[in-house]
Structure 1
Amino acid sequence: MKDTPYPCRSLCGACCIAPSITSPIPGMPDGKPAGVACVQLDAEFRCRLFGKPDRPAFCVSLRPSMEMCGNNRGDASAYLGSLEIATRP
């Protein structure tokens, strides 16, 4: 049986808001703090850098999954927020 990728939820953007990103992002040279929307997040909560070489490695490493995304945007934000807290230095 072939694995089917978990689809990114429309109008969510939790992965572009909840986690901190310590590497530079175009428009955010110092990265971004947790809970702050990335400047590359568009009005439809999609990444403007998706598939482009200047997308941060951290963002590329995030893959939608039932565990991470849950049933709604609130679930995704809570899960990613808990990871942020658990991985603080």
Structure 2
Amino acid sequence: MSELIVRDNSAACRAGCGACCIAPSITSPIPGMPNGKPAGVRCVQLDDHHLCRLFGRPERPRVCEQFNFDATVCGEHREEALATLSWLEESTR
């Protein structure tokens, strides 16, 4: 089973996944990416261990704060999360 990190009572995240920092487009500014990022591009704030450098910091984009772990989106492993998030991004363009 995948390891999950519980960050608070409403959100959990798979350690080292980072799919939500790669697959979706983000239109709001990100430190180091003032125009946001296109879908499929790795966020500059995602470290080598696939963890967000801005987690819990006020500079973190609101859209990122609002994204919570959801088993139907995140699946059982990172590759499943990347596939689902990429499909959702493409489907909602």
* TM above 0.5: yes
- 5 Å-filtered alignment, 1:44-55, equals 44-55=49-60
In the superposition, the TM-score normalised over structure 1's length comes to 0.88
Using the TM superposition, give the Cα deviation of residue 72 of structure 1 relative to its aligned residue in structure 2, in angstroms: 0.6
- 5 Å-filtered alignment, 1:1-89, equals 5=10, 7-88=12-93
**In the aligned structure 1, how far is the partner of 2:63 from the partner of 2:87?**
17
Identical pairs, percent: 59
Using the TM superposition, give the Cα deviation of residue 5 of structure 1 relative to its aligned residue in structure 2, in angstroms: 4.8
**In the aligned structure 2, how far is the partner of 1:45 from the partner of 1:52?**
17
Structure 2 vs 1, CA of residues 25 and 6 (structure 1 numbering), >3 Å: closer, same or farther? Answer: closer
**In the aligned structure 2, how far is the partner of 1:49 from the partner of 1:19?**
17
For structure 2, list consecutive stretches of 5 or more residues without a partner in the other structure: 1-8
Using the TM superposition, give the Cα deviation of residue 6 of structure 1 relative to its aligned residue in structure 2, in angstroms: 5.6
Using the TM superposition, give the Cα deviation of residue 7 of structure 1 relative to its aligned residue in structure 2, in angstroms: 2.9
CA contact (8 A) 2:45 2:52 kept: yes
Aligned to 1:7, the other structure's residue is in SS state: strand
Kindly tell me the number of residue pairs found equivalent between the two proteins. Answer: 85
For structure 1, list consecutive stretches of 5 or more residues without a partner in the other structure: none
CA contact (8 A) 2:23 2:86 kept: yes
CA contact (8 A) 2:73 2:84 kept: yes
**In the aligned structure 2, how far is the partner of 1:15 from the partner of 1:44?**
14
In the superposition, the TM-score normalised over structure 2's length comes to 0.85
